[in-house]
Amino acid sequence: MTDAITHIHPNNDAGVSRGVATEHFVYAAGLAIDGATMRRVPEADTIENETRICLQRIEDTLAEAGLSLKDVAKTSCWVSDEAYRFEFIHAYRDYFAPGPFPSRGTVSASLAGDCRVQIEVTAVRPEPADS
């Protein structure tokens, strides 16, 4: 690893960090998972709630790096079943409203710990005002 990378909330037991910050970018991931049990948190009882939890965790991670959802350029999203796509899109759209919305790719795939939604973002740090 290099000193140019800052890890945000590393979880060495799981082998992941909630976010990684560099000079120009912040990469963050959100799952509605309990790190101790590696199971979906009880509050994620619907796809919409699970999506909101993922995005809230991402928003918290970005805030620690001095950024917000408005700095997100790209999201990569997964749902564990294609049938969840429309509920996911509804919650995602509401969370980023009123826009503009980041670029988004969404696919269906098997996810960890009985989670049904996973989201990763790439956020761009604004240029310093004096550059």
| Domain residue spans of the chain | 6-124
Look at residue 16 in the predicted model and tell me its pLDDT: 67
Look at residue 89 in the predicted model and tell me its pLDDT: 97
Of 42, 49, 31, 44, give the one whose Cα is nearest residue 90: 49
CATH of 6-124, one of 1.10.10.10, 3.30.70.2740, 3.30.1330.40, 3.40.50.300: 3.30.1330.40
Per-residue pLDDT in tens (0 to 9) along the chain, 131 residues:
556 877 776 665 666 677 888 999 999 999 999 888 889 999 999 999 999 999 999 999 999 999 999 999 999 999 999 999 999 999 999 999 998 999 999 999 999 889 999 999 999 998 776 65
pTM of the model: 0.89
Alpha-carbon gap, residue 31 to 72, rounded angstroms: 17
| DSSP-derived 3-state class of residue 5 | coil
Look at residue 35 in the predicted model and tell me its pLDDT: 80
Torsion-angle region of residue 125: left (phi > 0), alpha (psi -120 to 50) or beta? beta
